[in-house]
Amino acid sequence: MKRVLSFSAAMLLAACSGGEGDHLNGYVEAETLYMAPQEAGVVGDILVREGDQVKAGDLLFRLDGRRLSYAVEQAAAAANAAEKRAEPAGALDQAVAEAQAELERTQLNFERTKELNADGYVSKARYDNDRALMLEAEARLERARVERDAAHHDHQSAEAQVGLTRRRLHDLEVRAPAAGSIERIYRRKGEVAAAGDPVVALLPPDNIKIRFFVPEKRLSDMKPGGEVSFACDGCAETMTARISYIAAEPQFTPPVIYSLKERDKLVFLVEARPVAPADLRPGLPVDVTLP
């Protein structure tokens, strides 16, 4: 789940006010990843602390899997039973073979009766009886085949259920999808977490951006992929960011007819991704220099 951390309204107004000349005010914003379990359950272990740096694939937390492990055992037992019913040369295959043999026997018997009846040696009642026996054998063979095929489908379904329950058990462990820093921990060991309920907040460096507002007269200089320079308090040197987004509409609604005076107040939101975002924190004010 992805949410955007927005800075305070005061900082937003400061960003909109701009600066003098080619310098504008802006601020750092972050798109935090809120790591949540797919299943509801009791938090078993939290393997990170706030401020930790993690790599992609690192285990962040896991839910207690004891209850779900019983479901895995139950599904495995059902799959084992279904496998025995559907095993080759088992009882169901034998039933099909017996029904097939019985059908062949009744077919031969009926064919003889049919010829004898045509020659007048066998009564019509005998003919009807042998024909009925043959039709019953055909029906028994069809039922045996249906039961055998159903057993195979049941076995496949049971195996799929085993795979699903094992996957659910595996998904109780939540890992970092990308490298980043642990910003917040919302649940502790022993607490109940709902499905989709955030447990850990992760901030990858690539999810940090700066936001600033460009006057309408300088908008033509802004292109996606273009670079701007910016500085911040505590930053060692001027940094660079690549423009990733330019708003299609102005941030504030101006009069319908623009005068030259009013056009100077018209600004557009621009977002840029820092090339080296490691030392930037959400909410940090920045001074942006336009090219």
Pick the more confident residue, 234 or 209.
209
Instruction: Check residue 253 and give its pLDDT.
Output: 43
Residue 28's nearest CA partner among 247, 251, 272, 227 is: 272
| Amino acid sitting at position 90 | G
Domain boundaries, the chain: 2-64+179-289, 67-170
23 — pLDDT class (breaks 50, 70, 90): confident
Residue-wise pLDDT tens digits, 129-156: 999 999 999 999 999 889 888 888 988 8
For the question of whether the overall pTM of this predicted structure is more than 0.75, the answer is no
Q: Residue 251 pLDDT > 90, yes or no?
A: no
- Under 8 Å between Cβ of 50 and 201: no
264 — pLDDT class (breaks 50, 70, 90): low
Max CA separation in the chain (angstroms): 119
Average pLDDT for 43-47 = 95
As a whole-number percent, the residues of the chain with pLDDT over 90 amount to 47
46-70 as b/e: b if 16+ CB within 10 A: bbbeeeeebeeebebbbbbbeebee
**Domain range 2-64+179-289, CATH class:** mainly beta
Least trusted range by pLDDT, from 15-24, 91-100, 111-120, 208-217 = 15-24
Q: Residue 13 pLDDT > 80, yes or no?
A: no
Mean predicted lDDT score pLDDT of the chain:
85
Residue-wise pLDDT tens digits, 65-106: 998 899 899 989 988 888 888 888 788 888 888 999 999 999
Q: Residue 270 pLDDT > 80, yes or no?
A: yes
Average pLDDT for 18-32 = 76
Domain 67-170 has CATH 1.10.287.470: yes
- Under 8 Å between Cβ of 130 and 110: yes
6 — pLDDT class (breaks 50, 70, 90): very low
Instruction: Check residue 151 and give its pLDDT.
Output: 87
Q: Residue 254 pLDDT > 50, yes or no?
A: no
